[in-house]
Amino acid sequence: MIRRYGFGPHTLSVPRLQPAEGAVYEAGEYAVSDEELKRIVAIYRLALPYVGVVVSTREPAALRDELLMMGVSQISAGSKTNPGGYSEKHDTEQFKLTDNRSLDEIVEKIASLGLLPSFCTACYREGRVGEVFRRIAESESMNKFCRANALLSLKEYIRDYAGDKEVIVELLNRELSEIGDNILEKIEEIEHGESDIHI
């Protein structure tokens, strides 16, 4: 894609066909098994290390947890699939969700796996998108932005929503001790009530 079109993928999603309201669906002989899905995720991660790999709440919680360890880097939480679903109760979902955990539960699970939850959207706001993003990501210098911004966004999340979640607080403190002093000033800004702090 890069040679032919001048750009590559930014994210790849790995949805599997699922029963949906009003759709005729049969699993058939080409249904993707859990093991095949794990293999697909691993291949994506190895072939495209700079690309976000996304899995939705259509997959069961235990499988999503496994997929995080195999290379998934983005997951949804608390999703609704029906019109008005976030404000009203409806039975018109496009498809059934099988991971019904709340955002708090998912963040806590990610932290318990030793992975770093991130709410960062700094690249979009700073113009690190498209070709600019790809060049930075492929050069592996994205890590200097991502890890620091993940920690900053996690600190803000803890301050506002999860101060009592020991596993998340412990993960943040451990990560901060490893990253050094370069973001401690920004952490203090968050502690003093500032929001949307990023590099």
Q: pLDDT higher for 154 or 133? A: 154
Q: Which two tokens stand for residue 22?
A: 């009003």
* Close Cβ partners of 40 (under 8 Å, ≥ 6 residues apart): 14, 32
Phi, psi of 74 (to 5 degrees): -140, 130
Q: What is the pLDDT of residues 77-104, one digit of tens each?
A: 876 555 555 455 555 455 566 888 888 9
Q: Please give the single-letter amino acid code of residue 88.
A: E
pLDDT band at 71 (very low <50, low <70, confident <90, very high): very high
Q: What is the pLDDT of residues 1-59, one digit of tens each?
A: 677 766 666 788 998 877 666 767 676 778 899 999 999 999 999 998 888 899 988 89
Question: Residue 86: its pLDDT value, please?
Answer: 44
Question: Residue 50: its pLDDT value, please?
Answer: 80
Q: How many CB atoms lie within 10 A of CB 100?
A: 12
Q: How many CB atoms lie within 10 A of CB 160?
A: 10
In this model, does residue 155 exceed pLDDT 90?
yes
Long-range contacts at 175-181 (CB < 8 A, ≥ 24 apart): 175/116, 175/147, 175/151, 176/151, 179/147, 179/148, 179/151
Q: Please state the rounded mean pLDDT for residues 180-192.
A: 89
In this model, does residue 190 exceed pLDDT 70?
yes
Measured distance CA(123)–CA(153) in Å, rounded: 13
What angle do the packed helices 166-179 and 103-112 form, to 10 degrees?
Answer: 50
Q: What is the pLDDT of residues 94-153, one digit of tens each?
A: 556 688 888 899 999 999 999 999 998 888 888 888 778 777 777 767 777 888 999 999
Measured distance CA(129)–CA(136) in Å, rounded: 10
Question: Residue 131: its pLDDT value, please?
Answer: 76
Question: Residue 134: its pLDDT value, please?
Answer: 74
Question: Residue 34: its pLDDT value, please?
Answer: 95
Q: Kindly report the pTM of this predicted structure.
A: 0.80
- Mean pLDDT (the chain, rounded): 84
DSSP label of 20? B
